[in-house]
Amino acid sequence: MLDRTMTFSIGKEKEQEMKQILTAVYDALREKGYNPINQIVGYLLSEDPTYITTHNNARSLIRKIDRDELLRAIVQSYLND
């Protein structure tokens, strides 16, 4: 049995698309008076789309993002890697 670590990678284009979607979702949540950070974190932890408003199609947009890819990009950004 091999004890290999799997690697995970996404391209720059995918990261840019995720950023655009996340920004649009953030703006829609803010426009509706929600705390965007809390709502997005709630969605990421639970995968419950009701954390995201339907305003400006935000709920549909966030579902286009693969949660694992987004979490990887967030951790990478936080650690400046």
Question: Is 35 a residue whose pLDDT tops 90?
Answer: yes
- For residues 22 and 30, the answer to whether their CB atoms sit within 8 Å is no
Mean pLDDT of 41-70: 95
Percent of the chain's residues with pLDDT above 90? 63
Side chain identity at residue 34, one-letter code = Y
- When the pLDDT of each residue in the chain is averaged and rounded to a whole number, the result is 90
Instruction: Record the pTM.
Output: 0.80
Question: Is 71 a residue whose pLDDT tops 70?
Answer: yes
Q: What pLDDT band is residue 61 in, cutting at 50, 70 and 90?
A: very high
Secondary structure in 3-state letters for 9-67: CCCHHHHHHHHHHHHHHHHHHHHCCCCHHHHHHHHHHHCCHHHCCCHHHHHHHHCCCCH
Percent of the chain's residues with pLDDT above 70? 89
